[in-house]
Amino acid sequence: MAGWVIWMVLSAAGAAAQLELDCAAPERARALIEYAQLSEIEQVEDIHRDLLDKALALCAAGAGREPCRAERRRQADLDWERKLRDIKARYEKMHKDFEERCRASIALIGEAPASLTK
């Protein structure tokens, strides 16, 4: 599990560093941020689903199986909601940082294009 967390942090940092966010093309930059966010959500969802399947398989057969499975699902749902919030917050920050960087650079050279003043 710790290895997964490290991989996700490095992956997210790499994705943020690799995005070419150009203030001259803000619509393209916003779409790129949204695409990267969706891609990360899909990756984390796949990993989450696999971990849930493994956790459910650990519940022993018998009378306690269903309560065990229900509790593992509940814990997995809470974990998924936390991961999703973290991803969304990270990409929202990336979006805000992009907007601020572009506004600052435009302020140095003059008037902001209408596409950045939304």
Domain spans of the chain, in order of start: 64-105
> Would you say residue 21 has pLDDT above 60?
yes
Q: Tell me how far the alpha carbon of residue 77 is from its chain's centroid.
A: 16
Scored b (16 or more CB within 10 A) or e, 6-42 reads eebeeebeebbeeeebebeebeebbebbeebbeebbe
The share of the chain scoring above pLDDT 90, in percent, equals: 55
> Would you say residue 23 has pLDDT above 80?
yes
> Would you say residue 114 has pLDDT above 90?
no
Q: Which residues contact 87 (CB under 8 A, 6 or more apart)?
A: 12, 37, 40, 41, 44
> Would you say residue 43 has pLDDT above 70?
yes
The share of the chain scoring above pLDDT 70, in percent, equals: 74
Alpha-carbon distances of 33 from 26, 81, 86, 112, rounded to whole Å: 10, 20, 15, 21
> Would you say residue 94 has pLDDT above 50?
yes
Q: Which band of pLDDT confidence, cut at 50, 70 and 90, is reported for residue 110?
A: low
Among residues 88, 86, 91, 89, which one has the least CA distance to residue 5?
A: 86
CB 18 within 8 A of CB 32: no
